[in-house]
Structure 1
């Protein structure tokens, strides 16, 4: 009797999971589609000037593969690159100057703002310094791009043309992350898939929609919009700075576009599970606003949506319960089908699609670990810095 009740409970839970997947499939902004690419472009009559701001901390390993691509931009207007060395200890600034000397291209300024004051993340303090340098040249646009991002030669031209044609205040592209090792194949496409599920790209680009997000690796921002939204001062404590930037711009009435990149790539390797784990866990609990109740809800949601379907299939097969197998299998099928477009975008084999529950379980563990590290005082740690929760900083300042 007890076993029958357990199987029946799993069957009902699998039915709820299937209903959740049907809702996600049809009502969550078609997040699973990967055809949101750079919007239509139209060349302006006069190309606006652009200041390219690159915050960099200990990036000597990736800089030779990324910085030359920025310096080599084929842009018809005036553009200048400002690399801000955020307290590097590996010679990042010196390497950047040497690459500019050897490769030529756009003018490069390398500067360092010193250690960030209390209440600032290191990256945003560097961005603030870089924007200040760029504003001295009075650019119409700012391109905020990470030090591990490589751009094809026409990247800047196409970003500006798209922003001009669509009247966007922000045009951001989710750089194609590196996918070479086994763990990268398992985790990286799912990372972008989960991000799109939280922030459906189609909703972000819709005027009047509340959904706001950007991808910090590549953000073209209208300079007057940045000044009006007080970027980055208004988001100086944000660990997830790209989403915070988008919310600040959209909150001020700005028009945002975010989509998948075709000619913008991250060159940073994540060969081991440990590397990927650290990438996710350092900001996962910040994404949940350091709220234990939101964490519990997130864990329960991940379990219901991603883990229940395979558990229901296996349990139903073992118990000979068709009523348990069918909803679990259908939910798993919908889940697998929605993941296929992202695997194709990343040129990965489709046999990885049914393994999404395993990857989701890893993300669940990473999220819990992020909370554990936070309460141990090691949350939001990155390259030797650990950032306090924003309200804790505010309390200290008061």
Structure 2
């Protein structure tokens, strides 16, 4: 009797996992497709002015591979770059000036905002300072980009053309992250896959939908929309600042577009599992709004969707339950199929797709660790700073 009940539980759990995967496949905005790229556009009659804002803290290792690409932008209108040195200890600001002297191209201004006041993340305090410097130029658009992002020479031109053609207030591209080490191959494509599952790109670009997100490495923002949405002041404590920015703009009636990049690349290496773990864990619990209840639901959801299929196959084979094995295998097959397009986008071997349950288990552990570190007072820590949860700081009116 006990054995029968056990088999029945495995069967029903595997059936639930398969049902979840069929729903994700067909009803979650076709998140698994990777063909959401910059839409067709036409050149505007007059190119608007653009200011590029680059917050940078201890980025001397990556600046030589990224900053010259910004300075070399082939943009027909007026454009200049503002790099904000956020208290670096490695000579980031001076290196930026030296790279500009060597490279030429767009004008570069290096500023320093000082330490952020209580309630501000360091990055958003630096962005605020950069936007303040840019306001003197009265730009129509702001390009917010990270210090580790390298842009193709026509990147700015294409972003502006898409924004003008589509009437978008935000045009953001998910930069192609570096994938070279073994751990990068296992974790990085899945990171983007999971992000797209949470924020399906097709829904973001549709008018009338609540789904909003951006990718902080490359965000073209209409200056007027930034002012309406009080960017960055309204999101000053946000650890996941790109999503918060898109939500703030969309709440004010702005139009947002997000897709995968073809020629915008992150040059930051994450060679070890430890490096990737820190990247994910620093913001995972913030993504769950620091809620133990949401954390428990997330762990249960990840277990049902990603871990049950292989367990059901093994348990079904071990208990002589072909139904459990077939249901688990079917769920695993759907999961594998939805992951293949992302592996192709990252030019990775397709045999990595069946390993997604293992990667999802790593993400589950990272998420739990993020919550543990938060409750120990070490949550949302990055580059020597630890940030409080948003409701621990006073809000502005």
With the shorter chain as reference, the TM-score category is over 0.9
Equivalent residue runs for 1:163-174 within 5 Å: 163-174=163-174
Q: Which residue of structure 2 lines up, in the alignment, with residue 317 of structure 1?
A: 317
1:332 aligned to 2:332? yes
**How many Å separate the matches in 2 of 1:152 and 1:158?**
10
Equivalent residue runs for 1:19-30 within 5 Å: 19-30=19-30
The offset of 1:318, in angstroms, is 1.1
The offset of 1:3, in angstroms, is 2.5
Q: Which residue of structure 2 lines up, in the alignment, with residue 56 of structure 1?
A: 56
Report runs of 4+ in structure 1 exceeding 6 Å deviation: none
- TM-score normalised by the chain length of structure 2: 0.99
Equivalent residue runs for 1:192-211 within 5 Å: 192-211=192-211
Q: Is the 8 A contact 1:379 1:387 kept in 2?
A: yes
Q: Which residue of structure 1 lines up, in the alignment, with residue 348 of structure 2?
A: 348
Q: CA RMSD in A?
A: 1.0
Q: Which runs of 5+ in 2 are unaligned?
A: none
Q: Which residue of structure 2 lines up, in the alignment, with residue 303 of structure 1?
A: 303
**How many Å separate the matches in 2 of 1:301 and 1:124?**
32
Q: Which residue of structure 1 lines up, in the alignment, with residue 6 of structure 2?
A: 6
The offset of 1:77, in angstroms, is 0.4
Structure 1 residues 365-392: Cα deviation after superposition (integer angstroms, max 9, x where no partner): 0000000000000000000000001111
SS in 1 for 2:105: coil
Structure 1 residues 267-322: Cα deviation after superposition (integer angstroms, max 9, x where no partner): 00000000000000000000000000000000000000000000000000111211
How many residue pairs end up in the alignment? 397
SS in 1 for 2:393: helix
Q: Is the 8 A contact 1:40 1:166 kept in 2?
A: no
- TM-score normalised by the chain length of structure 1: 0.99
Q: Which residue of structure 2 lines up, in the alignment, with residue 293 of structure 1?
A: 293
Equivalent residue runs for 1:84-233 within 5 Å: 84-233=84-233
The offset of 1:394, in angstroms, is 2.4
**How many Å separate the matches in 2 of 1:313 and 1:210?**
38
Equivalent residue runs for 1:363-378 within 5 Å: 363-378=363-378
**How many Å separate the matches in 1 of 2:71 and 2:3?**
66
**How many Å separate the matches in 2 of 1:343 and 1:19?**
24
**How many Å separate the matches in 2 of 1:371 and 1:40?**
42
The more displaced of 42-51 and 3-12 is 3-12
Structure 1 residues 190-245: Cα deviation after superposition (integer angstroms, max 9, x where no partner): 00000000000000000010000000000000000001110000000000000000
Q: Which residue of structure 2 lines up, in the alignment, with residue 247 of structure 1?
A: 247
**How many Å separate the matches in 2 of 1:255 and 1:277?**
33
Q: Is the 8 A contact 1:96 1:110 kept in 2?
A: yes
